[in-house]
Amino acid sequence: MSTVFLITAAYFLLGMIIILSLTRGSQPGRAGEQWKKYGMYLLIVHLMIFAILYGGPLFVLLSAMIVLGAAYELLRVWQKDKARSRKVLHASLVLFALMAAGLMTSAWTGSTVEMLFVYVIVFTFDGFSQLSGQLFGKRKLAPAISPGKTVEGLAGGFSVSLLTAFICRSWTGFSVAETLVYAALLACSALAGDLLASYYKRLHKVKDYSGLIPGHGGLLDRFDSFLAAGAAWCPVHFIVYG
């Protein structure tokens, strides 16, 4: 599974090159924000990978902390909205509880290889959707929900996720067909989680869930894709591994 470190090294190096090209000639403040976000993402990705590989119960604890922090942010955003609706809150909490339960079940029952595969696909999809969108994005994907997302960004993130999954076959043991199907499921789930979290923010007219993670919009903003993808993996685990 040392392949995962080669993947992260290559992807973050590529990300650095792309950010350098995107921020060339831009104002120092804007460039600084990009690098702050890059640095935090580098730290978060490797923290999660080390927790999966070497943490054992630590990964379960980390997942539980993400769930609890994200639940707090959901409630905080709702509470701050003067036009808040209890129906929206109740529906959101039910959906969030289902995703949280799915993620925690996956974290508890899934093997190291499974959880590593899930997280690698999620961070690849997230990272390359954003980079592809910044480089090539023209057509808005869901302007009313998430104005920054583009069709080109989605295509880039989805394509690199499938390629990454194929590379990861060396330690997953999945067939080519299984690999591509699972990667597509995780990428679609990650997108759904991201759009749901963005939609909740739009409903409550806020830009960020919190300032907890520098350069990012809060725990839920950073881990919405992982929550949804981890939940989506839960039934896969029980179907494949019984």
- pLDDT, position 44: 95
Burial class (CB in 10 A: 0-12, 13-18, 19+), 3: middle
Q: What pLDDT digit, counting tens, does each position of 69-118 carry? A: 999 999 999 999 988 889 999 999 999 999 999 999 999 999 999 999 99
What would the mean pLDDT of 19-23 be, rounded to a whole number? Answer: 86
- The pLDDT of residue 1: 67
pTM: 0.94
Query: pLDDT higher for 79 or 241?
Result: 79
Range with the largest mean pLDDT of 31-40, 49-58, 151-160? 151-160
Rounded Cα gap, residues 117 and 115, in angstroms: 5
Domain that holds residue 22: 3-241
pLDDT in tens, 171-186: 888 999 999 999 999 9
pLDDT in tens, 196-215: 999 999 999 998 998 888 77
Within the chain, strands assigned E span 140-142, 146-150
What CA–CA distance (Å, rounded) separates 103 from 109? 10
What pLDDT sits at residue 46?
A: 95
Residue-level pLDDT at 36: 87
**Total number of domains in the chain:** 1
Query: Is 195 a residue whose pLDDT tops 70?
Result: yes
